[in-house]
Amino acid sequence: MKTKPDLSFWKLWNLSFGFFGVQIAYALQSANISRIFATLGADPHDLSYFWILPPLMGILVQPIVGTLSDKTWTRFGRRIPYLFIGAAAAVVVMCLLPNAGSFGMAVSTAMIFGLFALMFLDTSINMAMQPFKMLVGDMVNEKQKAKAYSIQSFLCNAGSLVGYVFPFVFTAIGIANTAPSGVVPDSVIYSFYIGAAILILCVIYTTLKVKEWNPKEYAEYNAVSEVKEESANWITLLKNAPATFWKVGLVQFFCWAAFMYMWTYTNGTIADTVWGTTDVASAGYQEAGNWVGVLFAVQAIGSVIWAAILPQFKNVKFAYALSLVLGGIGFAMVPFIHDQYLLFIPFILIGFAWAAMLAMPFALVTNALQGYGHMGVYLGLFNGTICLPQIIAAAFGGVVLSMVGSAQRNMMIIAGVLLVIGAICVFFIHEKKKLQASN
């Protein structure tokens, strides 16, 4: 087997640059879905149900994209065709989703339209997102993999930062942040339009700059025959997955459930604790929606800072667990802070957890998978450890909300507890120095 060559910084950058645009789209969705559906008329106890669609699409789409792209060889590449098609579809849907309340439809019809638009948006974002993780797994050697995923993490956070602040910035320059009842404000609609434009430009850049290996080159560098890549089914692969795959997945379960509750209930929490309103049609609620974007941007900044610090820790598991505990403390602080600027402190801490969640799981798992083959399928299946906890958390979100007194701010404490449990589970992970390929 040939050793994968070292890649220059800019080649590593180009492999992931399109992720910047994809993450803008994902950030706009994360920060505004609850706001959009609440504006359309959804009850707070039902908000979590709308969040089932994003991870559901992920758990369905990403393993399929991984499986198909493992078997796809075209003149445009192996992973890139899926990246481009997914991004192009996302652009169309991003222009439709925020307009769900603008077509004169009844409330129920507008929400159904919004649900279908959200479903297609998540399908396309997941289709565009997964190839970036696979490109690193395919083309980057083990020595540079941590650096490659760090670059991807930086671009992810930078894209999040831009996407999160769009509504706040557009409001600041005079674009309307309020609208008639049941209609999404222009500040949000224009944010989706600009995000869609940036997404397609970034993906075009990656498709032009990255040249994937052909089948022969891929087999030489990855020591996997083309026949072997096509032979195993998902169940067989899961049975033969390394223990690290499952133990990291256990940590992921609690982490992603926590962040699902953050995305679902932060808007209602901040509107209540800082602006003192639960009226979705009020100017205060919409101002809170903009400020949530700013807080998520602060989280992204905290993530970038912490991502630079994490490599300094000699004990990887300690660094992973510490990050999650700090994030859990941040979540627990949110309900007790009533000043919009003091909220920067807990969201910086939440960013520490996010940095660890972005970088460490995939670095641990892709290293454990060396020699197993089927990298695309395995990463698609590993995405289930991101999607499944979100689906479960969303399905039971309304029940949990009722159990904690129907106050959305209490869901932040639940999120903090989940992150601490995830931190404890980190110590179950034991990396093996030698790996045996599956048959």
CB environment 57-82: b (16+ within 10 A), e (fewer): bbbebbbebbbebbebeeeebbbbbb
- Residues in the chain with pLDDT < 50? 225-231, 433-439
Which numeric CATH code is attached to 9-426?
A: 1.20.1250.20
Report pLDDT for 227: 37
Query: Which of 270, 68, 274, 94 lies closest to 166 in space, CA to CA?
Result: 94
Report pLDDT for 156: 84
Report pLDDT for 102: 82
Report pLDDT for 437: 37
Instruction: Give the position of tokens 């309307």.
Output: 176
Residues linked to residue 166 through DSSP beta bridges, in sequence order: none
What whole-number distance in Å separates Cα of residue 210 and Cα of residue 139?
11
Report the interhelical angle of 384-395 vs 53-70 (nearest 10°).
160
| Structural domain boundaries in the chain | 9-426
- The single-letter code of the amino acid at 5 is P
Cβ atoms of residues 176 and 186 within 8 Å: yes
Cβ atoms of residues 125 and 62 within 8 Å: no
